[in-house]
């Protein structure tokens, strides 16, 4: 299943009163860590776990501590230090070398479900907000609250942004919580299948449009959240009524591509991928009677990162990687290359 918070809460909410539940949250970290402050995970008394707080190294031990919280009814904080040879995380062979601080809190009606019901409903309505949690180091009471915020494009954040908030007696962690990205795929041919499947695997919401009866058939796109029926007017209406973060136009028909691009012109998207070479992009815009300056978002055409993709699966990976980087505001460059260049620059400065 997806590790998106909205997907975790979808597992919890219907069963919230059927068994014991514990919320695990990283509230602080030092050094390199797989997950950062604000990352969340759910445990229940049936032995189920949803989400992850490490790369899979710590979850078994965290689950043991979560079980103790269920039995005692008291929240706890635990620390895993990957740099300490005497620490459990070091003995488990964690290679990151960082330190994570995790709080484990019981979720039930007595503590108003830690306001996770409000988070659930907010994300279901595709609304962003700030989730405040009291860190149970000084306080014996659990307290959380969720405040909606009026912010655009917060769905870009697949990883949470957190900060500490100090009051007179307690310390809180405030985490930006955003709905998962919403991807629209225009075109329901054979090569759209891995596009939809991989986006679904990322935990994204995926909508599909193709007015041709033989395409976009439900049996071939079982993981699509919605298949839009109708012509470009139906697509335009859908784009106006729903918050869409990105779109991939791949109908393999210049006229249909042009209609799709025109229908998405005034939408909320911030990335649009147009399949085909650069001259085809010009043909599509000419057919749509639009100029590049007409758009408030970038049109990637040719679309995707240059990874040498030829088959539908690798092309989908290439486009979705570029889309992911765009939504996150990242460069899509090699991480090791960026770090190596920074290291070389610092070495040159030291020797200068």
Q: Does residue 89 register a pLDDT over 50?
A: no
Q: Angle, nearest 10°, between helix axes 254-263 and 278-288?
A: 60
> Do both 33 and 150 map to the same domain?
yes
Q: Residue range 56-80: average pLDDT?
A: 92
Question: Percent of the chain, pLDDT > 90?
Answer: 69
Number of domains in the chain: 2
Give the Cα separation of 168 and 19 in Å (integer).
35
Q: Confirm if 303 and 274 have CB atoms less than 8 A apart.
A: yes
Q: Is 88 exposed, middle or buried (0-12, 13-18, 19+ CB in 10 A)?
A: middle
Most confident region among 168-182, 299-313, 326-340 by mean pLDDT: 299-313
> Do both 172 and 223 map to the same domain?
no
Q: Does residue 67 register a pLDDT over 50?
A: yes
| Cis peptide leading into residue 302 (ω within 30°) | yes
At 156, phi and psi to the nearest 5? Answer: -65, -25
Q: Residue range 183-204: average pLDDT?
A: 97
Q: Does residue 238 register a pLDDT over 70?
A: yes
> Do both 148 and 224 map to the same domain?
no
Domain-embedded: residue 347: no
Determine the structural domain holding residue 117 and report its residue range.
5-177
Q: Residue range 24-34: average pLDDT?
A: 88
Q: Does residue 95 register a pLDDT over 70?
A: no
Give the Cα separation of 101 and 69 in Å (integer).
16
Q: Residue range 324-334: average pLDDT?
A: 91
The pLDDT of residue 139 is: 56
According to DSSP H, which parts of the chain are helical?
Answer: 5-12, 59-72, 88-91, 116-124, 192-201, 232-241, 254-263, 278-288, 312-328, 335-351
Q: Does residue 156 register a pLDDT over 70?
A: no
Give the Cα separation of 53 and 207 in Å (integer).
29
Domain-embedded: residue 349: no
> Do both 39 and 53 map to the same domain?
yes
The pLDDT of residue 314 is: 97
Give the Cα separation of 24 and 136 in Å (integer).
12
DSSP 67: H
Give the Cα separation of 235 and 265 in Å (integer).
11
Residue 341: count of CB within 10 angstroms of its CB? 12
Least confident of 111-115, 148-152, 199-203, 243-247: 148-152
Residue 69 exposure: Cα atoms within 13 Å on the Cβ side: 29
> Do both 192 and 98 map to the same domain?
no
> Do both 246 and 132 map to the same domain?
no
CA neighbor of 24 nearest in space, from 1, 46, 5: 5
> Do both 188 and 172 map to the same domain?
no
The string of pLDDT tens digits covering residues 288-298 is 999 988 898 88
Q: Does residue 201 register a pLDDT over 80?
A: yes
**Residue showing tokens 């995926």:** 206
Q: Confirm if 261 and 272 have CB atoms less than 8 A apart.
A: yes
The pLDDT of residue 195 is: 98
Domain-embedded: residue 144: yes
Domain-embedded: residue 132: yes
Q: Does residue 158 register a pLDDT over 80?
A: no
Q: Does residue 299 register a pLDDT over 60?
A: yes
CA neighbor of 290 nearest in space, from 268, 323, 247, 259: 259
Does residue 61 or residue 83 have the better pLDDT?
61
> Do both 236 and 171 map to the same domain?
no
Q: Does residue 49 register a pLDDT over 90?
A: yes
> Do both 321 and 238 map to the same domain?
yes
Length of the chain: 352
> Do both 130 and 194 map to the same domain?
no
The pLDDT of residue 337 is: 80
The pLDDT of residue 94 is: 54
Question: Cα angle at 320 between 51 and 296, to 5 degrees?
Answer: 115
CA neighbor of 326 nearest in space, from 261, 247, 251: 247
CATH of residue 314's domain is 3.40.50.720
H/E segment holding residue 175 = strand 171-177
Q: Residue range 319-327: average pLDDT?
A: 96
Q: Confirm if 45 and 22 have CB atoms less than 8 A apart.
A: no
Mean confidence (pLDDT) of the chain? 88
Give the Cα separation of 294 and 307 in Å (integer).
30
Does residue 278 or residue 96 have the better pLDDT?
278
The 3 state secondary structure assigned to 114-141 is HHHHHHHHHHHCCCCEEEEEECCCCCCC
Q: Residue range 108-130: average pLDDT?
A: 94
Give the Cα separation of 131 and 193 in Å (integer).
36
Q: Residue range 119-136: average pLDDT?
A: 92
Which pTM was predicted?
Answer: 0.85
């Amino acid at each position: 299943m997806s590790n998106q918070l909205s997907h975790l809460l979808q597992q919890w909410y219907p069963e919230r009163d059927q068994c014991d539940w514990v919320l695990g949250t990283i509230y602080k970290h030092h050094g390199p860590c797989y997950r950062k402050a604000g990352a969340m995970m759910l445990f229940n008394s049936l032995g189920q776990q949803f989400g992850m707080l490490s790369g899979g190294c710590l979850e078994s031990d965290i689950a043991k501590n979560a079980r103790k919280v269920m039995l005692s009814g008291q929240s706890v904080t635990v620390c895993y230090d990957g740099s300490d040879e005497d620490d459990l995380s070091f003995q488990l062979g964690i290679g990151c070398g960082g330190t994570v601080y995790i709080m484990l809190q019981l979720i039930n009606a007595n503590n108003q479900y830690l306001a996770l019901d409000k988070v659930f409903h907010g994300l279901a309505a595709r609304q962003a907000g700030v989730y405040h949690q009291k860190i149970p180091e000084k306080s014996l009471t659990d307290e959380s609250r969720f405040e909606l915020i009026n912010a655009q494009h917060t769905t870009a954040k697949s990883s949470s942004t957190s900060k500490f908030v100090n009051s007179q007696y307690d310390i809180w962690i405030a985490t930006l919580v955003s709905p998962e990205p919403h991807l629209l795929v225009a075109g329901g041919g054979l090569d759209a299948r891995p596009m939809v499947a991989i986006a679904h695997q990322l935990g994204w919401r995926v909508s599909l449009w193709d007015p041709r009866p033989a395409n976009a058939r439900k049996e071939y796109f079982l993981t699509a959240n919605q298949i839009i029926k109708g012509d470009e007017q139906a697509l335009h209406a859908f784009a106006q009524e729903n918050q869409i973060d990105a779109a991939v136009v791949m109908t393999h028909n210049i006229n249909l591509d042009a209609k799709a691009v025109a229908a998405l012109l005034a939408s909320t998207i911030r990335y649009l991928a147009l399949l085909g070479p650069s001259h085809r992009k010009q043909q599509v815009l000419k057919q749509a009677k639009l100029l590049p300056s007409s758009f408030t978002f970038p049109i990637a055409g040719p679309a995707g990162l240059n990874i040498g993709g030829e088959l539908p699966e690798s092309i989908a990976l290439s486009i979705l990687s570029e889309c992911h980087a765009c939504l996150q505001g990242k460069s899509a460059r090699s991480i090791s290359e960026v770090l190596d260049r920074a290291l070389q620059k610092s070495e040159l400065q030291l020797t200068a």
